[in-house]
Amino acid sequence: MTKIKIAIQKSGRLNEDSIKILKDCGISIDNGKDQLKALARNFPLEVMFLRNGDIPQYLRDGVVDIAIIGENVLVEKGEDISISQRLDFSKCRVSLAVPKDVAYTAITDLNGKKIATSYPNTVRQYLEKKGITAELHQISGSVEIAPNIGLADAICDIVSSGSTLFKNNLKEVEVMLTSEAVLAVSPQISDEASKILKKLEFRIQSVLKARKSKYILLNAPNHKIDAIVKLLPGMRSPTVLPLAEEGWSSIHTVIQKNEFWEVIDELKAAGAEGILVCPIEKMVL
């Protein structure tokens, strides 16, 4: 039986988020500690746990069919690899930072300076677009220490919360790109694997739609239904069901998570009572 091979980062937050979305897609993976390869019990999927920076070449060579990978890694090492699906997790920035006590006004301040980074291609392309010439020092990890030991005047690195920069007496001065996890596809993927990919994409899309939505149930007097329904952008239209108490109905709908509090306030003002808000596990449209 044909299986689709997927690469995910072997450790860290991206690994955890990748395993979680596969689990939310109903896929059970038999992986033990320090295991580099695992099979799914209930889906034709084989998982390979790899170093993030190695994944683009594995995709390019067709060793794996797909991968969950940081978009920033593709920008640096895999611009020729196509993205099938943006996954809306493991978000970060790739930024330039300088010591806190350095006065910084514009990118031109980096002209002729030394920049330490694990992302030389990304930095080089960004500086070229800005017309800036700088000396790049490629470092595999812990680039934050470079200014403190006199190796560089600035660094380029991934920034999530900014706490690592703060601890190393650095400040973020330029955001070069924003990144999130993506589902990337090998240019050598077979027709059989592509068919399995479509099934996986369908499951992922259902999970992502559910994560962005909330299910709302509320009670309302019948004479206020029209006003309340106008506030509820449902999947098609809200469901209205009569309650046992005469003159009252129950209204059910789905709203976007980022609209939640604004909609709730408006519903209460319009006469809604007994409002329940529930998470959605899957959403198939």
Half-sphere exposure (CA, 13 Å, Cβ side) for 81? 31
* pLDDT at site 95: 93
Same domain flag for 126 and 254:
no
32 and 103 both lie in a single domain: no
What is the pTM assigned to this prediction?
0.83
Rg (CA), the chain: 24
**Which sign, positive or negative, has the C-alpha torsion 17, 63, 184, 29?**
negative
For 182-203, the pLDDT digits (tens) are 999 999 999 999 999 999 999 9
pLDDT-based confidence at 234, cuts 50/70/90?
A: low
Q: Are residues 72 and 61 in the same domain?
A: yes
Across the range 259-271, mean pLDDT stands at 84
Alpha carbons 58 and 74: distance in angstroms, whole number: 12
Arithmetic mean of pLDDT, 69-93: 92
Q: Is residue 285 part of a domain?
A: no
Q: 135, 52, 122, 125: which is closest to 94 by C-alpha?
A: 122
Alpha-carbon distance of 285 to 278, in angstroms, equals 18
Burial of 228 (0-12, 13-18, 19+ CB in 10 A): buried
Per-residue model confidence as pLDDT tens digits over 133-157 = 999 998 887 888 888 888 899 999 8
Same domain, 98 and 172: yes
Residue 122's SS3 state is: helix
Say if 146 falls within a structural domain.
Answer: yes
Is-contact 249 240, C-beta < 8 A? yes
Does 284 map to a domain? Answer: no
Task: Enter the DSSP assignment of 105.
Answer: -
Domain ranges, residue 246? 213-279
